[in-house]
Amino acid sequence: MAAFRLLTSFLTRSSIRIAAGVAAITFADAACAHAVAPGASSVPASFGWTFEPWVVACLALSIGLYLAGYARLRLRGARGRRDRALRLVSFVTGWIALVIALVSPLHTLSEALFSAHMLQHEIFMLVAAPLLVIGRPLAVWLWAFPPRARQGISAATRSAWVNTPWRWLTTPAVAWVLHAAALWCWHAPRFFEAALASEGIHTLQHTSFLGTALLFWWTVFRPASQDGSRPHSAHAMLSLFTTMVHTGALGALLTLAPEVWYPSCIESTLALGFDPLQDQQLGGLVMWVPGGLAYLVGGLLVGARWLTRRPASTLAPATSVARPAAPNTRLRAHEES
């Protein structure tokens, strides 16, 4: 109860601060926005869809392999078809989220507004990544290949060169640290400014966000056949809670900061008629509020999965005790005969 009261008090204070931040952004004097000529070089010429060849190729390859593998698995029989269909929906939804983040006008707008940039990052880490992980793409992609290639790829993944690094990277503590480091390092002004100034560094930033998020959510939602035990559920919920806390802290710092952290965003933000500090506050709120809710939902899903699997584990001892009775029964029947 004491912990519950402490959590309630914390959430109440956070809600008040969030409401104050929203009110400051919503009711701020419109005269704070300074107009700049629409032809400013820092503002994109148009906010349409972008089709970078390598991005489109990666997106097309991922969805193509998944659909091909799913079709081949579907032909193998009806067993598990419902679960495979749910994973298909999850993967396709996550893939659509990636398209929105990388190809839609949001990508172009993110180059001008910090808040749009933050929304793009949150779609990477909190929408696309968990949905893609739930879709279990690695196994489905494998089935897209012919039998001989499938056997070769499977053998390669079992080798020490691949299996050892993978096991290390998907350790909950390692995945948590990598994800947290990516978040905090890239939001440091020096590194964030470098990403805005260089397309290559910007690509590295997005890759690290999505890659570490995939590892993080893999440790949370990894297949129950590997580990459906209580310790894994406890580790997953601990990872989600602590990540919610430190990402919320970063969002709060951005929201409550008295000055703009990233000077490179000022010119483009002013050119669109927005106040740079308010835009940064909005970006911080995007990380703070929806981000916290996403981790909370993830924790509820992990808890629900653990609760639904508990009866099967509790029945195991009873089954093991009942088995020795069978030989005695057969022995008595033999003696009576």
pLDDT of residue 275: 94
**CA dihedral sign of residues 303, 169, 97, 260:** positive
Q: What is the pLDDT of residue 51?
A: 86
Provide the percentage of residues in the chain whose pLDDT is more than 70.
Answer: 75
What is the distance in angstroms between the CA of the first residue and the CA of the last residue of the chain?
Answer: 63
Q: Where are the domains of the chain?
A: 46-311
Report pLDDT for 305: 76
- The mean-pLDDT minimum among 99-103, 243-247, 332-336 falls in 332-336
Q: For 281-309, write each residue's pLDDT tens digit.
A: 999 999 998 888 889 888 888 888 777 76
328 vs 255: which has the higher pLDDT:
255
Coil, helix or strand at residue 224? coil
Residue 324, pLDDT score: 46
The pLDDT tens digits of the residues spanning 170-182 come to 999 999 999 999 9
pLDDT of residue 221: 87
